[in-house]
């Protein structure tokens, strides 16, 4: 058999994986499930309180909408009604949005879980 000769492999058979819709951009990197919300929130930076919208939330972070003068790596406090203060770090941002990660201990994670369950949020 020559290594230069073409090889016949037969018809290509689709697999079950071919039928699955593509994951949303960035979803393959997420370790925790996101829950869709549309709530007012405040970003606290120093003595400034900046209004924004909470678009989605997970145990690991959130997506915020609004004109927020922050950059990747900045830390701030996030205030949402009925939740304890969340300590955040900007993970990525663009015009009008910001993805943040949480830097809180287990007690805040528990409170966040209770908040999600009490609201019956869906991912």
CATH code of 111's domain: 2.40.10.220
Domain range for 59: 32-118
Mean predicted confidence (pLDDT) in 102-107: 84
Q: How confident is the model at residue 37 (pLDDT cuts 50, 70, 90)?
A: very high
- The total number of structural domains in the chain stands at 1
The number of beta carbons lying within 10 Å of the beta carbon of residue 95 is 5
The confidence score (pLDDT) of residue 39 equals: 96
Q: 44 lies in a domain?
A: yes
What pLDDT is recorded for position 4?
Answer: 59
State the first-to-last Cα distance of the chain, in angstroms, to the nearest integer. 55
Please report whether residue 7 resides in a domain: no
Strands (E), the chain: 35-45, 48-57, 61-65, 75-80, 86-94, 97-102
- For 17, 53, 86, 100, 116, the CA distances from 31, given in Å and listed in that order, are 21, 23, 18, 14, 17
């Amino acid at each position: 058999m020559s290594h230069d000769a073409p090889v016949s492999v037969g018809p290509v058979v689709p697999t079950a994986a071919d039928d699955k819709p593509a994951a949303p951009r960035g979803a393959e990197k997420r370790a925790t499930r996101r829950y869709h919300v549309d709530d007012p929130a405040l970003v606290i930076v120093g003595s400034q309180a900046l209004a924004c919208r909470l678009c989605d939330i997970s145990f690991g972070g959130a997506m915020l909408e609004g004109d927020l003068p922050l950059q990747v790596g900045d830390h701030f406090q996030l205030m949402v009604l009925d939740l304890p203060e969340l300590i955040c770090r900007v993970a990525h941002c663009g015009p009008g949005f910001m993805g943040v990660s949480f830097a809180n201990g287990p007690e805040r994670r528990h409170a966040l879980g209770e908040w999600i369950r009490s609201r019956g949020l869906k991912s």
